[in-house]
Amino acid sequence: MNAPDDLQAESSLIEHLIELRARLVRALLGLGVVLLCLLPFTRQIYSWLARPLVSQLPAGQTMIAMNPAGAFFAPMKLTLFVALFIAVPWLLYQAWAFVAPGLYQREKRLALPLLASAVALFYTGCAFAYFLVLPAVFHFLTTFTPDVIALTPDANAYLDFVLVIFFAFGTSFELPVALVIMALLGWVTPDQLRQGRGYAIVGIFVIAAVLTPPDVVSQLMLAIPMCILYELGIIAARAVVPKAQPQS
């Protein structure tokens, strides 16, 4: 008696799996195209990333590779990360195209701006880290390094360090989006966010101390923007929640 329903459910599952596979293939193809376009510029990309540190080193001094393959794999790994960074909008579009048909119209109106804001804030956090944080951190570190110690940073270690900084600032700048989502889900209210501001500031400084290198400069340069973003998150939550959850 339930055979037609079972067949319909199985057919629907197969269609969803086929759609998922198609979206994954398109996402990987897009990432591959971006990577192929960037491969000829691998050396320039790494030189661009190394500029905040190299500009603080003594004249004529550069980075080193601790193993023979390091000079090759570090730039290649960076190029892959840059390709992924550039392809994020395309990858998210494929994910959105897969889940959007199952969302209500109201959910689509809320989800799309949140998704776009999350991408923009992540890019903003990475740009903030590159143009402001890294030069300040390396200036601080090189200033207080004794003259008897020669700074010869390893290419792979530097790449790992910078990627951690980018990830820390990129994800931390997502704070307003996270607060809006929590408010939309009913976990917190804008008034509770405002009343818990003091605890939030303490938590922000703890997070900054954990995510950043053990220097005051990078910790402050992460904590202060996060405090500002927390306030922006409260404002955004107040603007969105009443529209999404009108009071009867």
Q: pLDDT tens across 192-238, in order?
A: 999 999 999 999 999 998 888 777 888 899 999 999 999 999 999 99
Amino acid at residue number 20: L
Nearest Cα to Cα of residue 223 among 128, 118, 115: 128
Phi-psi region of 33 (alpha: psi -120 to 50; beta: other; left: phi over 0): alpha
Domain membership of residue 208 (yes or no) is no
Dump pLDDT digits (tens) for 21-57: 999 999 999 999 999 999 999 999 999 998 988 888 7
Q: What is the pLDDT of residues 56-111, one digit of tens each?
A: 877 767 777 777 777 788 899 999 999 999 999 999 999 888 888 877 787 778 88
**Is residue 132 domain-resident?**
yes
What's the pLDDT score for residue 66? 76
Is residue 203 assigned to a domain?
no
Residue from 40, 53, 74, 44 nearest 157 by CA: 74
Q: How far apart are CA 153 and CA 150, in angstroms?
A: 9
Residue 184 lies in a domain: no
- At residue 1, does pLDDT exceed 50? no
Position 57 scores a pLDDT of 76
Q: Is residue 10 one of the residues assigned to a domain?
A: yes
Residue 167 lies in a domain: yes
Would residue 26 count as lying in a domain? yes
Full residue range of the structural domain in which residue 110 is found: 3-173
How many separate domains does the chain show?
Answer: 1
- Residues 133-177 have pLDDT tens digits of 999 888 887 777 776 666 778 888 889 989 989 998 999 999 999
**Domain assignment of residue 201, yes or no:** no
pLDDT of residue 2: 57
pLDDT at 173: 94
* The pLDDT of residue 170: 93
pTM, two decimals, is: 0.84
Band the pLDDT of 13: cuts 50, 70, 90: confident
